[in-house]
Amino acid sequence: MKVNVLILGDIVGSPGRTIIKNKLKSFMEKEEIHFCIANGENAAAGAGITDQITKELFSYGVDVITMGDHVWDKKEKVHVLEIHKNIIRPLNYSPYAIGKGFVVATSKLGYPIGVVNLLGRVFMKPIDCPFRGVEKILGVLSNETSMIFVDMHAEATSEKIAMGLFLDGRVSAVVGTHTHVMTADEKILPKGTAYITDIGMTGPHESILGRKSDCVLKAIMTQMPTRFEVAENDVRMNGVKIVVDSQTGRAESIMRIEVKEKEAS
């Protein structure tokens, strides 16, 4: 059986949530999507997530929410990570941190699907090794499902590529998030793992990475602390559609997707 999985790039603020509300379900129906993963670490005003937003995203059709380096930015983070089983934070945070770094959820076809969230270390704050972290849990996940998807939330292209090659043949896909700009290097790696360096941003593209350009430029030019407000225009939903064989877990195809707010559903 072929399983169609949609993975959405970083949801940024209200514009990102709104386009998911308006466009996601119709897109999933048209593309026959059986499972949807979305990175939600910027969903609440550009940084973090809340309980209400988590519930909203699940109601719009998202099955699993991954996070990143902004996971702790909202005060109710403990509540969200403890009560919602299908929201995960990076696996390679301290084992003493709240929440979990992977989950197995059920697709619309009834197949179990594993999702892992990792955080990179290059140009990022200190954190445990994502390579050793994912190595430790692959055996556990492999006993539950042949289909495993990894969100590698990282800054450096080289680190994302390294993770893709490290996991080639052992997971269905490794997709990069965090940089908010979709790359054009989607491919099936030699041993059957789908890979792309970054799946882009679900949010306002008339911006600098989802924030109002004048705010960001002011910070760059003055080197003074500046509040980065979420932008509003040219809202798009970025991500990838990956087709996987349910028996082998091997990816058969990966396709970039982009849905604009002002185009027909």
**180 assigned binding-site residue:** yes
Rounded to an integer, what distance in angstroms lies between the CA atom of residue 87 and that of residue 261? Answer: 26
196 neighbors 256 (Cβ within 8 angstroms): yes
H or E element, residue 164: helix 157-167
Residue with tokens 């492999």: 142
One of 70, 79, 84, 205 is an active-site residue; which one? 70
**42 assigned binding-site residue:** yes
Please name which of 38, 96, 44 lies closest in space to residue 75, comparing C-alpha atoms: 44
**69 assigned binding-site residue:** yes
**86 assigned binding-site residue:** no
**34 assigned binding-site residue:** no
Residue with tokens 């603020």: 13
3-state secondary structure of 109: coil
Which pair of tokens denotes residue 81?
A: 């990570």
- Told to judge if 70 belongs to the known catalytic residues of this protein, a careful annotator would answer yes
Query: Strand (E) positions, 89-234?
Result: 102-106, 112-119, 148-153, 173-177, 187-188, 194-196, 201-204
Rounded to an integer, what distance in angstroms lies between the CA atom of residue 27 and that of residue 18? Answer: 14
Residue with tokens 């877990």: 249
Look at phi and psi of residue 170 and say left if phi exceeds 0, alpha if psi is from -120 to 50, else beta: alpha
Active centre residues (catalytic): 70
Which residues are documented as binding site?
A: 10, 41-42, 69, 153, 178, 180
Which residues are documented as binding site for Fe cation?
A: 10, 41-42, 69, 153, 178, 180
